[in-house]
Structure 1
């Protein structure tokens, strides 16, 4: 059965096409495109992606308005059924604002927009997103954000650390994130939020293909589910 993914677009999304290209490169199937105001998701989805950008101009708080878009009610329900959901950069912010992941993304410690390729250490290889990486290995993925400083209270940090839910850490902290956290999983392991952009590292012309493996991991895992 063909891999059936959807990419959600919000007003201000600017990485939705990149996400669609990455998913098609990994699966051979063009993903469906979903508008934030849609009341329902397409039937039988294998994967949902929330892309980067500046949804609603990042007014109020980054991701806060998008988290209340009509489609997000359906994304939450799909995730609760076990459908994998990937939120990248602004998509990570949306996932935290929607309560699908713990913590919050605050202004970068430097107060500056950061745009460069960074080294990430793979902390968890048990999820469908990360199973193809080497535990403790280093991958190179671009970042581009102004509000990527991951924050959570000490109790929450201890819980997600103890449950192995930190997916990626910055080798050199790029934005002030607590405990160098760059990506977090939900308790079930089917929702991943990360600030770095794997969809910008899927072609040799990008300078590396470490991001492609994340999408290939997901496609492979779901094909054998």
Structure 2
């Protein structure tokens, strides 16, 4: 069962459950003050505005007691996916390096973005080929990924960058970068390939009735564990 952790202010938890169920997974929302179910096989940290993004996006949710259980599950090999606010929670809690901060535009941006698959040799990207271009929605005010030089070099050398923002033809350019993220980074791995975070929303591009299923491959990554 995939536990979709719901914090106060989460608003993509139902979308995540619906998308996961459409892929054939058993999924349920778990309130952050409750314990993870004993039959948990995967964890998703969904988007939204946990604690109203007070202080900064994901900062307070990262200190929620349930995150200790999440860390224990990671040590046991349980896969974890953080999306949008969940990506902020992942960085703030140290599950992944770097930080997501205010967009270069200083505006909330809600639009579609193109992503180039940088590493197709992970469960989260095994549905794609390296260099594939997919289209996912973004909806964030603090989506700009930042990391110091040493950390960025480690991500690149270890092939832990999953996606970069690009144009429709796969060109990674400044113009194709919607929020000013360093290196156009849109998604990364943690120390283990079982942990991934990304700012765009795969669950909003997973149902055939919505006209875009490019995100199904990301969510299907839970099958790889």
TM-score by length of 2: 0.93
Quote how far apart the aligned CAs of 1:44 are: 3.0
1:130 alignment counterpart: 125
Partner of 1:74 in structure 2?
A: 69
Alpha-carbon shift at residue 28 of structure 1 (Å):
4.5
Q: CA RMSD in A?
A: 1.0
Structure 1 gaps of 5+ residues are none
Paired positions, count? 216
Is the Cα–Cα contact under 8 Å of residues 126 and 217 in structure 2 kept in the other structure? Answer: no
Residue 23 of structure 1: aligned partner = 20
CA apart distance, 1:19: 0.4
User: Runs (4+) of structure 1 moved beyond 3 Å?
Assistant: none
Q: Which of 188, 191, 207 in structure 1 is aligned with 2:192?
A: 188
Structure 2 residue corresponding to 1:209, chosen from 208, 213, 219: 213
Between the aligned partners of 2:29 and 2:11, the Cα distance in structure 1 is 13
Q: What's the secondary structure of 2:23's corresponding residue?
A: helix
- Cα drift, residue 202 of structure 1: 0.9
Which residue is 1:142 aligned to? 137
Moved more, 204-213 or 9-18: 204-213
Report whether the alignment pairs 1:218 with 2:222.
yes
Residue in 1 that maps onto 2:169: none
TM-score, length-scaled by structure 1: 0.93
Q: Is the 8 A contact 2:2 2:25 kept in 1?
A: no
Structure 1 67/41 Cα, relative in aligned 2: closer, same or farther at 3 Å? same
Distance 1:207 1:145 in 2: 22
Deviation readout 1:85-124 (Å, 9 max, x if unpaired)? 0000000000000011000001000001111111000011
2: CA distance, partners of 1:75 / 1:28: 19
Q: Give the equivalent residue in structure 2 for 1:54.
A: 49
